[in-house]
Structure 1
Amino acid sequence: MRVVALVSGGKDSTFNMMQCVAAGHKIVALANLFPYNQSEIDSFMYQSVGHEAVDLIAQAIDLPIYKKCTYGVSKKKGKNYDPCDPSDEVEDLYNLLKEIQNEIEFDGVSVGAILSNYQRIRVENVCIRLNLTPLAYLWQRNQEDLLDDIIKCEVDAIVIKVAALGLEPKKHLGHSLSQLQPYLLSMHEKYGINVCGEGGEYESLTLDCPLFMSRLVVEDSEIVMHQDDPIAPVGYLKFNKISLEFKLPALDLQSRLQGLPLKDSYGYILEDGEEILELSNEEDETENSFLLASEIPQINIKPCLIQQPHYGKSKDGWLWIGGIQGLASNPEEALEEAIDKIKCILHSNAHDVKDVCSVIMYIRDMSEYSQLNATYIKAFNHTNPPTRACVQVPIGHPVQLEVISWKKLTGELAGDGEIDRQTMHVQSISHWAPCNIGPYSQAVKIGDFIHLAGQIALVPGNMQLVSQGIISQCKVVVRHIGRLLTAVDNTVNLRDVVQGICYLTHHNYIDLARRYWESKTNNAIVEYVVVTGLPRSAAIEWQVWAHKHNNQFEYEERGKCIDNYSISLYRRINYDNNVAAIVCRVENIEESQSFDSKIFLEAVSYSIDKLKQGTDHDPNTVYNLKIFYSVFKLNNPEDLLEIMHDFIDGTNVLVYNFIPVIELKNKNTILSICGVRNQ
């Protein structure tokens, strides 16, 4: 990828350029926004102090630089950004990159953001509008590890502004980060400052790094006191004279980078500070390697099970929509049909497409994905779209959808508690977790609930699937889930997952995935489902939801036997009894015996009884059921649909979806019910 690097002169923009080079990209130019007629301005977006050195950095790296002045005016300071005012400083960046596009060809933009959602969201907005890919390889890095990497990779940067308790202008300005590293770590322990200065504690200027052919030499500077506070004084260096000193011996870029602990995208998967992933010598990897498509049993798709759209609405703003199918033979027309059904239900319940927070898309053929996605984008082409999971299952029509929507209650209906929606839609490529450049977000948090998009084992830095087998893919996916949860809420982690679906492409993978998942989580109830295909030909995809107070959920196992059938049920329920989740499996050890639909009625009744336990008389209760059934075990699913039609009258509000699959948790499992009760 040809990349233009946004540079301020600081360590972060410099080190992100090095990360771009390590990831295989080519930097073709630099871009800088400098303050109008001042040494420094208070900008929400850009580092302005030290801008006098930026031209010399361009000379040192031997690249053209494009510059534009900014007044640092911020008109839109909210969580989201819309380009509504041309005087906003974000539009200065848009205009600068647009001008560069008119002169040279490039695809990506290097961004040194670490933690600031404010900056990331605005740079992403500009890049998406210009059809550019933002590359933020420092995003969400542990700051202590990142500072150590910057120093070890020979980025020689000095502190040029301080604005934090424990940092003093006369004492610390002009000192290198390598000198100050121990002191910064001690100030982090004492006062909680960000060691990389991400909280505005300090700004830096890079004097030298392996990308430079010359080093910057500060010949004359002065300290400017911006705020002479006795506790946390604010001051910066104003540079009066800086020069370049050519480095000898003259080496090419590859030689200058040689020997540095600079990792490529795959290197951040192998070792990320949390655990070492042994990707090449894994236990059982050989005998459980990928199966070729020709080895998957051939399925004769029968006429599709026709379901009718229906919904359930809870008293706290949730709207569950089921039975949505696109039956037209053409994929685009089928999805348009399905989305029209969803819009009709949303409208009838005073909801909007923007209120949708989670979508599951079951499709008949992954080769039709690009067609379906093009249509999907038209419907969900707005800021902070819903999460999405996509899997291929043996259905006879192009697409089937499940939808969860939520709308904030107002007035008397809102009650005492204030509930808000928080969406995480990171579109920058980083080493943190896969980006979502497109119509779905990584996570949506509503109150205490967090719904994640389906996760496959993509290497975040290059968005390619991990090349090894199921164990490697499982480890990477579980790591993604944990990171996403913590990014949404730093008090939440992997052990707060309440319920999940693990989609796999072969039954041999189930036990390996189950064992690894259970070693990392805490009583999450999970169904393992074998499907006919996953995005990018992945072997595994996880879709989960978590609760901020998972430690207040009880775990329960129950079961019963009827004739030769066993019904096993696993339940999670919180102490307040306003949320419950179940996984219920029906098994029969006699494969030759035809399935008795009365057993299905018993399983559904058992599932709903356990979901509603303690809330029998609450008319606002909504039950949502995913009913997975094996196409090799169940010959007449239409009988089950008839039972659900009759059964629905005896419940408060029941939303259900039948999903055909290849196989379930073991070869004796006929069907599985994954249910949630929400009030």
Structure 2
Amino acid sequence: MKVVALVSGGKDSTFNMMQCIAAGHQIVALANLVPHNKTEIDSYMYQSVGHEAIDLIAQAIDLPIFKKITYGVSKKQGKTYEYCKNDEVEDLYNLLQEIQAQIEFDAVSVGAILSDYQRVRVENVCLRLNLTPLAYLWQRKQEELLDEMIKCEVDAVVIKVACLGLDPKKHLGRSLSLLQPHLLSMHEKYGLNVCGEGGEYETLTLDCPLFKSRLVIEEHELVMHQNDPIAPVGFLKFNSLKLEFKLPPLDLQSRLEGLPLKDSLGYISDDDENDFEINNIDEAGDCDNIETLDNEEVDVKAHIQQKPSSYASKEGWLWVGGIQGHSSDPAGALEEAISKLTYLLSLKNHTIKDVCSIALYVSDMSQFALLNEVYIKTFSHVNPPTRACVQVPLNCPVILEALSWKLDNEEDKQTMHVQSVSHWAPCNIGPYSQANKIGDFIHLAGQIALVPGNMQMVPGGIKPQCKLVVRHIDRVLKAIDVNIRDVVQGICFVTHSSYIEPARKHWEAKTNNALVEYVVVTGLPRGALIEWHVWAHKHNNQFEYEERGKCIDDYSILLYRRVNYENNVAATVCRIESQANGCDSQIFFEALNYSVQKLKQGHENDSKCIFNLKIYFSILKFNNVDSLVEVVENYAEENLVYTFVPVVKLKSSNTLLSICGIRNQ
């Protein structure tokens, strides 16, 4: 892509340009917001100190620069941003719009590392201008990132300090390579952000491999902004700067040679994840030839007639299940399903904006682009719900289920909606968020093994996909302030039954006691071989685990349960196993009742409990499930939400059907 780089003169915007080039993009111009008073301003968005050097940096890189004056006024300071006249964000919008009128470009480089405030606003501007934000430093570990910058020959000096542990009179003007040990020490002692991402310090890049010439500071003065005895604030004002041509003259490719600058594939292996290999081979004899297997094909599709169901809890949760779109036209079918969802939400005083998680089961993944066009018409608002989408052997175009939440205290809701391309985890490639945290619950979008930096499937087959997709889950959860060991329950969708074993082995090596169902489906987005859809709980370490089972004739009913100490959350997986094909209504009733009673345990007299069930059945084992649907519809428990989902196979060849259940208050 052709890229316009937002530059402040500091190390982060400079190094992100290097990352863009390493990822195969072309920087075509620079953009800068100039402080209106030609001195340092207190902006939430833009670094203004060192602005005197911006024109020289453009000359050093030999690229055109576009500038616009900003007054640094932040009128909307919330977690989200929508258009606000005269806000400093609109200065950026206007600048990029003016550049679009003069040159052609597709993307914007931004050096955000941790600042959701900055990232969200740049993404808002890019979305409105149909541009792709590239934030390759996003969520990088700061110690590693600083070391990488220095090793990649980014020569930057500190030009502003504003924190405990940094002294303007001692540290201003010193290079990051010399200050690195001190910054690491202050991080251990005071919690200082090593890259200064908390505003602790700002920098000016004097030289890097992108520069044909080096900046030289001829005259400067120290300005004390706040002479605090504990955390003084000061910055450098530059009175005279010049460029010094670097010899011998080299082209860009030659200047980049020999640097430890990695491409997108290089960033899917980190020091603490050194077991990741593109062509990893398991022990001999384990899943022979699984790399070359095609998707399991089936020539039968399930006919299901289930009624939509929905119930609301006293804690603001609303589960909606079993919504079908019957139109022969896929787009019309999804419109029908969304219309039903909107109606059911309205009955409980919820709206589309309250929905936090969606699961879509489609009959034909080749129609996904068309379905997405319909979907985005409804879910185009800020911070849309998470979403998982899989293809199943279904005779209607779509089945939809949803989880909604609404209470007066919206501060309990936190959304991770990253639209920037980075090396962290995949940006959202559609109208969905990566995660929603509501209270102690975290619901993730379905995760597939896209390489974050280039948004392509990782090469090498199922084993690299297993490892990368689990890493995505962990990174998204960590950004929400939990980790992968906090996963309570998950569904692992795969496109071939032989992929289950490597998926299970890697998952169990990384997690602890999560309830998992493994499901073979007929297709996944982007041709993925595996997709994980999970939810987590901040206090997963306070959940108990139990296994139960019983036999009825030739059938085994196996049940796995997780419940927290307070018993206001419970999750189950219940499997019916047999060598027979299918089961009768009585066997299914026993499994259904077993699941609900174990979910309800300890709340037998509580009429406000809600039970949400996903009922996966193998179409190779069941010719018809009408009788099973009737069992659920006639079940005595009123607060039951359910969705029947046809799949090819389940965890083992003897697994006929699986009921995945959740109860919360």
Q: State the TM bucket, normalised to the shorter chain.
A: over 0.9
Mapped to 1, the partners of 2:568 and 2:237 lie a distance apart of 60
CA shift digits 1:52-80 (9 cap, x unpaired): 00000000000000001111000001111
- Letter aligned with residue 31 of structure 1: A
CA shift digits 1:323-371 (9 cap, x unpaired): 2000000011000000000000111110000000000000001001011
1:470 aligns with 2:462: yes
Tell me the residue number matched to 2:437: 445
Tell me the residue number matched to 1:40: 40
Change (3 A) 1:419 1:167: closer
- Judge conservation of contact 1:223–1:237 (CA < 8 Å) in 2: yes
Mapped to 2, the partners of 1:531 and 1:618 lie a distance apart of 37
- Letter aligned with residue 257 of structure 2: Q
Change (3 A) 1:259 1:311: same
User: Which among 562, 574, 584 is matched to residue 596 of structure 1?
Assistant: 584
CA shift digits 1:421-440 (9 cap, x unpaired): 11110000000000014310
- Judge conservation of contact 1:329–1:398 (CA < 8 Å) in 2: yes
- Judge conservation of contact 1:112–1:138 (CA < 8 Å) in 2: yes
State the Cα distance separating 1:273 from its structure 2 match: 3.9
Mapped to 2, the partners of 1:162 and 1:409 lie a distance apart of 41
Tell me the residue number matched to 2:502: 512
State the Cα distance separating 1:642 from its structure 2 match: 1.1
CA shift digits 1:308-336 (9 cap, x unpaired): 11101111000000120000000110000
State the Cα distance separating 1:174 from its structure 2 match: 0.5
Equivalence map 1:84-483=2 (5 Å): 84-85=84-85, 87-271=86-270, 273-283=272-282, 284=286, 287-293=289-295, 296-302=296-302, 304-409=303-408, 420-483=412-475
User: Which among 525, 528, 548 is matched to residue 518 of structure 2?
Assistant: 528
State the Cα distance separating 1:566 from its structure 2 match: 0.4
Which SS does the other structure have where 1:522 is aligned?
Answer: coil
Tell me the residue number matched to 1:503: 493
Tell me the residue number matched to 1:627: 615
Which SS does the other structure have where 2:273 is aligned?
Answer: coil
1:670 aligns with 2:634: no
State the Cα distance separating 1:630 from its structure 2 match: 0.2
State the Cα distance separating 1:409 from its structure 2 match: 4.3
- Judge conservation of contact 1:364–1:392 (CA < 8 Å) in 2: yes
- Judge conservation of contact 2:521–2:647 (CA < 8 Å) in 1: yes
- Judge conservation of contact 1:317–1:407 (CA < 8 Å) in 2: yes
- Judge conservation of contact 2:225–2:234 (CA < 8 Å) in 1: yes
State the Cα distance separating 1:482 from its structure 2 match: 0.5
Q: Which runs of 5+ in 2 are unaligned?
A: none
Mapped to 1, the partners of 2:400 and 2:632 lie a distance apart of 18
Mapped to 2, the partners of 1:382 and 1:316 lie a distance apart of 24
Which SS does the other structure have where 1:429 is aligned?
Answer: coil
Mapped to 2, the partners of 1:276 and 1:220 lie a distance apart of 51
- Judge conservation of contact 1:449–1:546 (CA < 8 Å) in 2: yes
Change (3 A) 1:63 1:419: closer
Tell me the residue number matched to 1:543: 533
CA RMSD of aligned residues (A): 1.1
State the Cα distance separating 1:115 from its structure 2 match: 0.2
Mapped to 2, the partners of 1:438 and 1:233 lie a distance apart of 45
**TM-score by structure 1 length?**
0.96
Tell me the residue number matched to 1:645: 633
State the Cα distance separating 1:286 from its structure 2 match: 5.7
State the Cα distance separating 1:280 from its structure 2 match: 1.5
- Judge conservation of contact 1:316–1:409 (CA < 8 Å) in 2: no
- Judge conservation of contact 1:422–1:444 (CA < 8 Å) in 2: yes
Change (3 A) 1:419 1:210: closer
Mapped to 1, the partners of 2:297 and 2:476 lie a distance apart of 35
State the Cα distance separating 1:291 from its structure 2 match: 2.0
Change (3 A) 1:419 1:158: closer
Mapped to 2, the partners of 1:291 and 1:366 lie a distance apart of 19
Mapped to 1, the partners of 2:308 and 2:613 lie a distance apart of 14
Mapped to 2, the partners of 1:139 and 1:316 lie a distance apart of 34
Tell me the residue number matched to 1:414: none
- Letter aligned with residue 499 of structure 1: Q
1:636 aligns with 2:638: no
Identity %: 69
Mapped to 2, the partners of 1:406 and 1:150 lie a distance apart of 43
State the Cα distance separating 1:645 from its structure 2 match: 1.4
CA shift digits 1:172-206 (9 cap, x unpaired): 11000000000111111111101100011100000
Equivalence map 1:69-80=2 (5 Å): 69-80=69-80
User: Which among 517, 542, 545 is matched to residue 552 of structure 1?
Assistant: 542
Which SS does the other structure have where 2:474 is aligned?
Answer: helix
Change (3 A) 1:191 1:340: same
Tell me the residue number matched to 1:415: none
Which SS does the other structure have where 1:289 is aligned?
Answer: helix
Mapped to 2, the partners of 1:632 and 1:399 lie a distance apart of 20
Mapped to 2, the partners of 1:608 and 1:328 lie a distance apart of 33
Which SS does the other structure have where 1:557 is aligned?
Answer: strand
Q: Which runs of 4+ in 1 moved over 6 A?
A: none
Mapped to 2, the partners of 1:230 and 1:184 lie a distance apart of 19
Mapped to 1, the partners of 2:203 and 2:390 lie a distance apart of 47
Q: Which runs of 5+ in 1 are unaligned?
A: 411-417
Mapped to 1, the partners of 2:545 and 2:582 lie a distance apart of 33
- Letter aligned with residue 44 of structure 1: Y
Mapped to 2, the partners of 1:272 and 1:2 lie a distance apart of 31
- Judge conservation of contact 1:285–1:471 (CA < 8 Å) in 2: no
User: Which among 464, 480, 483 is matched to residue 488 of structure 1?
Assistant: 480
CA shift digits 1:547-574 (9 cap, x unpaired): 0000110000000011110010000000
- Judge conservation of contact 2:280–2:464 (CA < 8 Å) in 1: no
How many residue pairs match? The answer is 662
1:661 aligns with 2:651: no
Mapped to 2, the partners of 1:280 and 1:134 lie a distance apart of 31
**TM-score by structure 2 length?**
0.98
Mapped to 2, the partners of 1:298 and 1:182 lie a distance apart of 61
Mapped to 1, the partners of 2:294 and 2:660 lie a distance apart of 30
Change (3 A) 1:460 1:285: farther
